[in-house]
Amino acid sequence: MITYLEAIREAQSEALEKDPRVYIYGQDIGNFGGAFKATKNLAQRFPGRVLDSPISEDAMMGSAIGAAMQGMRPIVEMQFADFSTVGFNQIVNQAATLFWRSGVSCPITVRLPSGGTPGSGPFHSQSLEAIYAHYPGLIILTPATVEDAYSMLLEAVAIEDPVIFCEHKYLYYHLKAPSLPKEALPVGKARIARAGRDATVVTYSAMVHEALAAADELATEGWEIEVIDLRSIKPLDTDTVLASVARTGRILAVGEAWPWGGVTAEVLARVATEGFNLLDAPPMRLNSKDTPVPFHPNLWGTHRPTARTISLALRELLRA
């Protein structure tokens, strides 16, 4: 069995192996192998290509952009997604605007260990996909499975544009698969994680598994819930979402990130504007609470959506 984290390490190893333009840059990623061991043994296997950076997220990003402009394929590991805000300026103003302004592409991959785990607190738990998706010029990937963590990371490195790769820390060790995939859906295509006819849950990343558990629970009551894993939130596969809503007539958008704006708001805006006539009930959404992410597991477990709260929301949606 291979874990989600091992899939990320394997994809990086393969990228380094196959493409001499690839190098990895981040804090503690060299001999130490990274805070989560996502680069374990890679510095030894690829000398000079897995580099420890100073604690300088702005300079980490800026240098990756410069190297990409000169033909390299940098992978930047942010130790936690939360710290990428220190490099935010370089990502959204330098990397995201470069191709549009100058015609020179910026093939960088920024790995953001994202999302909450018990005890991680306000500054090691954030889900920042929406704020990056707001900016033109960036591609935002949110893999929910071991297979996608592997194939989408390889694809991220191959893409000519800046990719924000939101890998979920909760899935690092929890999620296992028998083997790595030989083929994958392309970036930009959503996946129907579970087929159903009564209601659609649109979600991504770790929330896919909470939604699947909720669908299991409702199945015992006779409801068939369709679960869509967006995989990439920018571009967002509106067609797959609308086709599902056409079948079910009901939609619940779920995200671990904060409620204001964001992915769930975007999904529902598109359904409301482009598929209003498909709806049999008002669209619903479920996000974390609008507070910083709490430290204590008791609070954290209530702060974010879970299978239990998704089930409750679905029952309400099905009654509407």
Task: Figure out which of the listed residues 1, 47, 71, 290 binds another protein, where binding follows CB under 8 A.
Answer: 71
Task: Figure out which of the listed residues 137, 181, 259, 301 binds another protein, where binding follows CB under 8 A.
Answer: 137
Task: Figure out which of the listed residues 3, 13, 85, 89 binds another protein, where binding follows CB under 8 A.
Answer: 89
Burial 260-286 (b: 16+ CB within 10 A, else e): eebbbbbbbebbeeebeebbebebbbb
Looking at residues 224 to 243 of the shown chain, list those that interact with another protein (rule: CB under 8 A): 234-236, 238
Distances (CA, A) of 213 to 55, 210, 305, 307, 309: 39, 5, 12, 6, 11
* CA distance linking residue 46 with residue 33, whole number of Å: 12
User: Is 168 part of the annotated catalytic residue set?
Assistant: no
Q: Which is nearer to another protein, 60 or 171 (CB)?
A: 60
Looking at residues 51 to 70 of the shown chain, list those that interact with another protein (rule: CB under 8 A): 53-54, 56-70
Distances (CA, A) of 138 to 50, 122, 257: 24, 25, 18
Residue 251 CB, shortest distance to another protein, in Å, is 18
- β-bridge partners, 140: 164, 234
Looking at residues 17 to 46 of the shown chain, list those that interact with another protein (rule: CB under 8 A): 23
Vertex 281: Cα angle to 301 and 234 (nearest 5): 60
- Does position 72 interact with another protein (CB under 8 A)? The reply is yes
Binding mask 270-289 for another protein (x = CB under 8 A): ----x---------------
* CA distance linking residue 205 with residue 262, whole number of Å: 14
| Binding positions for another protein, rule: CB under 8 A | 23, 53-54, 56-72, 74, 86, 89-90, 93-94, 96-102, 104-105, 136-137, 139, 159-161, 187-188, 234-236, 238, 274
